[in-house]
Amino acid sequence: MHPVLTYTDRIVRLEPPARDELLRAFVPQEFPKGACLLRAGQTSQHYHFIEHGLVKSSFYKEDKEFIMNFFKEPILFTEINSYLTSAPSKYQLLALEPTTGYRIARPDIERLCRQHHAIETLFKQLLAFASVGMMKRISEMLEENATVRYRLFVQEKAPLLQRISLGDLAAYLGITQVSLSRIRAGQ
Amino acid sequence: MHPVLTYTDRIVRLEPPARDELLRAFVPQEFPKGACLLRAGQTSQHYHFIEHGLVKSSFYKEDKEFIMNFFKEPILFTEINSYLTSAPSKYQLLALEPTTGYRIARPDIERLCRQHHAIETLFKQLLAFASVGMMKRISEMLEENATVRYRLFVQEKAPLLQRISLGDLAAYLGITQVSLSRIRAGQ
DNA sequence: TAGCTTTTTTATCATTTGATAAATAGCCGG
DNA sequence: CCGGCTATTTATCAAATGATAAAAAAGCTA
């Protein structure tokens, strides 16, 4: 089965016409390590499905990078803010590993959401997943200091930990890499 | 026109059958100041429409309160995490002012979302708004210190500022009330 | 208005995190 | 295997924030 359908089947059941039309709208994509799926300043016009690989969503503030999220296979995602508001993105999407997958353009998504109620349900569910994740993130940033947030990340995202640099982990935790090194050393 | 429809009309256009059925599912609600719309530990089973009033979503960590968000009229919202996962809520919803409005139960929402594509679109849009807001929040917490986050709040949410205590603002910013007082004093 | 409670401010000291620089370790291409 | 990158650690000092206590201000109610 097509990897996009393997993924969407676990979220919502699509009838054959919806499945077929959805698949026709997805275009294969391939990115070497370090390539940008979306540059800051561009508008997010696609959802991306990652079949293999890892992508980070990040932005820069005065030469310091901060990471909003990591997206690893299999996942269907986009830079939501720019996608929803049509504003230029503050964030870039950058492949941390050689990444392959597919993408679908917003006009196709909007048309398919209008034509097939179940596809609208699918994209609503994607927003629901994103909301749950962001709420957890905000909650942790409010109540836990960097040391605890680091431990939680290690506990809950152990497989991801093997694939990202400590610098990127620090940028995700919202601290400097030097601070993270200190935390790892145990004070 | 019914205040719920005045609100939803600005998000998505509903046809008369959908409008009527939607309205029939909303039940009037009234809360005095200090009342709980949802207690921590309960499962979030409703969306709430606030016609007049103000509600905070917050949780406690070792006697310290942290605030996830303020919801002021007019708004249709819920504690999303518990609503979506059916898990007991970590968060409470508490009226900061005498609050009036309506609520709609999850089984009704699910039925209406199945029956009326446009109602599904409406609730998808509510998730979209929530996502945009949370992304901005995460972004700010990563890149700005408490002083800047305070200034941004004052700039962007001036009307809300008049209606909440400094203690609640500190709990929203993720700092102690004493720290916020120091920030306001200007170092 | 007096007295009580709650909110906000001020002060002091401890802890966490940042900035910077330098040392060490790891990695990769020739 | 060497040399040069890049990533990570260590060290030092500064800045931001927390914890605690107490004072001052504001609000409420009898």
pLDDT 10s digits, B81-127: 999 999 999 999 999 999 999 999 999 999 999 999 999 999 999 99
Number of domains in chain A: 1
Nucleotides on strand D with an atom closer than 7 A to protein CB? 7-11, 16-21
Distance of CA B36 to the CA centre of its chain: 13
Q: CA of B132 to nearest chain A CA: how many angstroms apart? A: 5
The answer to whether A127 contacts chain B (CB < 8 Å) is: yes
State the nucleotide closest to B182 in CA–C1' terms. Answer: C9
Report CB contact under 8 Å: A131, B131. yes
Distance B133 CA to C5 C1' (A): 36
User: Is B68 domain-assigned?
Assistant: yes
State the nucleotide closest to A181 in CA–C1' terms. Answer: D9
User: Is A170 domain-assigned?
Assistant: no
The answer to whether B148 contacts chain A (CB < 8 Å) is: no
State whether the Cα torsion B154-B51-A84-B109 is positive or negative.
positive
pLDDT for the residue numbered A186: 82
User: Is A176 domain-assigned?
Assistant: no
Q: Is the peptide bond before B32 cis (omega within 30 degrees of 0)?
A: no
Specify the CATH number for the domain of residue A86.
2.60.120.10
Report CB contact under 8 Å: B123, A121. no
The predicted-structure confidence for A53-107, as pLDDT tens digits, reads as follows: 999 999 999 889 999 999 999 999 999 999 999 999 999 999 999 999 999 999 9
The predicted-structure confidence for A117-165, as pLDDT tens digits, reads as follows: 999 999 999 999 999 999 999 999 999 999 999 999 999 999 999 999 9
Does residue A11 surpass a pLDDT of 70? yes
CA atoms lying within 13 Å on the CB side of residue A118: 15
Using DSSP's 3-state secondary structure scheme, residue B56 falls into strand
User: Is B180 domain-assigned?
Assistant: no
Question: Mean pLDDT for each 10-residue chunk of chain B (187 residues)?
Answer: 96 95 97 93 97 95 93 97 96 94 98 97 97 97 95 94 94 96 88
Identify which of A66, A84, A120 has the shortest CB distance to residue B142: A66
User: Is B108 domain-assigned?
Assistant: yes
User: Is A125 domain-assigned?
Assistant: no
Whether residue A116 contacts residue A78, with contact meaning beta carbons closer than 8 Å, is answered with no
Phi–psi pair at A97, nearest 5 degrees: -140, 165
Domain span at A70: 3-106
What pTM value is reported for the model?
Answer: 0.94
Distance A33 CA to D26 C1' (A): 60
User: Is A79 domain-assigned?
Assistant: yes
User: Is A145 domain-assigned?
Assistant: no
Whether residue B113 contacts residue B120, with contact meaning beta carbons closer than 8 Å, is answered with yes
- Give the residue on A whose Cα is nearest the Cα of B172: A142
Does residue A187 surpass a pLDDT of 80? no
Query: Residue A48 and residue A103: Cα distance in Å, rounded?
Result: 4
The answer to whether A13 contacts chain B (CB < 8 Å) is: no
Q: CA of A122 to nearest chain B CA: how many angstroms apart? A: 10
- Using a CB-CB cut-off of 8 Å, the residues of chain B touching A64 are 143
